[in-house]
Amino acid sequence: MADSSFDIVSKVDRQEVDNALNQAAKEISTRFDFKNVGAEIAWSGEKIEMKASSEERVKAVLDVFETKLVKRGISLKALEKGDPVLSGKEYRVSASIQEGISQENAKKVSKIIRDEGPKSVKAQIQGDELRVTSKSRDDLQAVQALVKGKDLDFAVQFVNYR
């Protein structure tokens, strides 16, 4: 019998992020507490820029955006956000979406699988993803449960389950 496998990846659907950003921008433009504070949110290249006249308002803009991301099924672990910075008369927060598993994070996950997972399971780092193989599908499902149960500082998804 051939080996079964799946990949552990960290990917985000750009269209869903864009939809969440558009919904947040629409809500910010209509909400009463954002009137006359210059609150806005928009793409700036690969980053998401949030602006407002006070630190509290820019944090509220970030909160609205995070709420929209969660409603669209995007993990907040994929959102890397900065602190509010005073720029002229307005406060700004820039955020970016992290994709791919870094080498050090892939090594951490691989070590968790080696130490705590079933012995028949093998994990290989392939670029920005991790391939997990085993003869037993039950062992692969045990590894998925193990990785989901760990509190990792990045979002993970399981794809290419064969």
Q: Residue 78 pLDDT > 80, yes or no?
A: yes
Q: Distance (Å, rounded) from C-alpha 53 to C-alpha 129?
A: 41
Q: pLDDT tens digits for 108-135? A: 999 999 998 888 899 999 988 899 999 9
Question: What is the domain partition of the chain in residue ranges?
Answer: 4-11+101-159, 14-97
Q: Categorize the per-residue pLDDT at 47 as very low, low, confident or very high, splitting at 50, 70 and 90.
A: very high
Q: Distance (Å, rounded) from C-alpha 125 to C-alpha 106?
A: 7
CATH architecture for segment(s) 14-97: 2-Layer Sandwich (3.30)
Q: Which range is least confidently modeled, 8-17, 28-37, 46-55, 151-160?
A: 151-160
Predicted pLDDT of residue 83? 92
CATH architecture for segment(s) 4-11+101-159: 2-Layer Sandwich (3.30)
Closest CA to 48 of 17, 89, 12, 15: 17
**4-11+101-159 and 14-97 in the same fold:** yes
